[in-house]
Amino acid sequence: MKLTRKVQNILSFYESDNPGTKTNISRILMSGKLAGTGKMVILPVDQGFEHGPARSFAPNPAAYDPTYHYKLAIDAGLNAYAAPLGMLENGAATFAGAIPTILKVNSCNSLATSKNQAITGSVRDALRLGCSAIGFTIYPGSDQAFDMMEEIREMSEEAKSYGLAVVMWSYPRGSMSKDGETAIDVTAYAAHMATLLGAHIIKVKPPTSFIEQDEAKKVYDQCKIQVGTLAQRIAHIKESCFAGRRLVVFSGGAAKGDSEIINEIREIRDGGGDGSIIGRNTFQRPREEALKLLNEVIQVYLQRD
């Protein structure tokens, strides 16, 4: 596998990481139909933990089978497949080496009364299953945020020492309005926190133009930070992650129509985003429809900016 100049340049941004970690980052970047472009499309399937089996898989019953998701990600030519422990264990041997995997090591559930995440996997599990990375969620703004940050500091240190990459979901919760959870100032702040915590790949939701914090609004106005279009907001998120020196992917969110998804992907591409991590909008569809949509998404990222 000869690394492209684009991937070599990205790896140069991770100055403190050992060869093992850089190898695993490159495995993700050099896999699938987007191999070598610096762009990524990742399939995440942690919704069973988050929302329950029926809400996650009943729209497409074939998706109850964990191997379905391995096959979907591989056949679609994606960069990686991310899931909790049990999902990856069911298929780890059959699909070993077929696609880079990311072990989601913490999870919440909709039965709980508080928004928190339990540790549900370990670095040793990730190594045993041949994963390229661990994935971890933090909730900036929540009462549990500091505990989560301390947990990922420890797990990140361990993962990096064994040559694994670290992917961080950074979803604001708690001390803000509902609109504030995807506000541009809050999302940029959350992405920056994940960067400061040492994440190699940061996952956030596409931000809206709403500004939650009064003090932040003053700065956005004074510095004339452009956030009117999604592409401008994506560019601001990237700038917030060490001036673009960290990989940032954007979630697909709740179910939406094909044209809405593709238009959003174009904006992410035009803003310099590094890719998408799309779950429900793919695996809740019949397989052929999902493959068609994922191919369209990949084609958008293959087009020159």
Encode pLDDT of 38-88 as tens digits.
999 999 999 889 889 999 999 999 999 999 999 999 999 999 999 999 999
Can you give the pTM of this predicted structure? 0.96
Under the banding of pLDDT at 50, 70 and 90, the label for residue 10 is: very high
CA geometry: angle 58, 64, 70, nearest 5 deg: 130
Domain boundaries, the chain: 17-300
pLDDT of 255 reads 63
Q: Structure tokens of 299?
A: 């084609």
User: What is the average pLDDT score of the chain?
Assistant: 96
Under the banding of pLDDT at 50, 70 and 90, the label for residue 305 is: very low
Other beta carbons within 10 Å of 155: 21
Q: Structure tokens of 281?
A: 């909008």
Under the banding of pLDDT at 50, 70 and 90, the label for residue 304 is: low
pLDDT of 295 reads 97
Contact yes or no for 62/287 (Cβ under 8 A): yes
Under the banding of pLDDT at 50, 70 and 90, the label for residue 254 is: low
Q: How far is CA 114 from CA 118, 138, 174, in A?
A: 12, 14, 10
- In the predicted model, what is the mean pLDDT of residues 6-13? 98
CA distance 28 to 105: 18
- CATH number for 17-300 (one of 3.40.1190.20, 3.20.20.70, 3.40.50.720, 3.40.50.2300): it is 3.20.20.70
pLDDT of 110 reads 83
pLDDT tens, position by position, 190-228: 999 999 999 999 999 999 999 999 999 999 999 999 999
Residue 233 pLDDT more than 90?
Answer: yes
